[in-house]
Amino acid sequence: MVSLANSYLLLAAILFCMGLYGALSKKSAIIVLLSIELMLNAANLNLIAFSKYGVAPSITGHIFSLFSIAVAAAEAAIGVAILIAMFRNRGTSDIVDMDSLKR
């Protein structure tokens, strides 16, 4: 019976890389936020996989991933609020137009 631990880690690696690519290549700010959520979720999958298959399996991994979910939710709320404020003031939600710090 082969253990599935490596498969879970590989799946998390795939998710993280796709999320990284999405976060850096997409033009719409909402999708960039969602890609960041995806990367956090890949890290959560790793935490939970290690809490079952790791060297010292324990339930602490679950608690850590709950904390990370809470932080991700706060980040998503703040991100959407910033986008709405940005859209009200500048009339755009494209990443390429967010360059006032460069000028």
Partner 1 sequence: MISNLVAFFSNGESLMFFLLALGTITGVVLMNSLTKVIHMVVALALTFISLGGLFIMLQAEFVAMVQVLVYGGAITILMIFGIMMTKHDGEEPQEEKTTPQQYTLLGGSVALFGILFYAIQKAEFVPAAFNPGVDNTKEIGLQMYTMHVIPFEIISLLLTVAFIGAIVLAKKEEE
Residues 10-39 that bind partner 1 (CB under 8 A): 10-11, 13-22, 24-31, 33-35, 37-38
Supply the minimum distance, in Å, between the C-beta of residue 34 and partner 1: 5
Query: CA–CA separation, 72 vs 37, rounded Å?
Result: 7
At position 23, the amino acid (one-letter code) is A
Supply the minimum distance, in Å, between the C-beta of residue 47 and partner 1: 9
Taking the least distance from each CB to partner 1, the nearer of 3 and 101 is 3
Determine, following the binding rule CB under 8 A, whether residue 87 of this chain makes contact with partner 1: yes
Query: CA–CA separation, 66 vs 59, rounded Å?
Result: 11
CB 17 within 8 A of CB 40: no
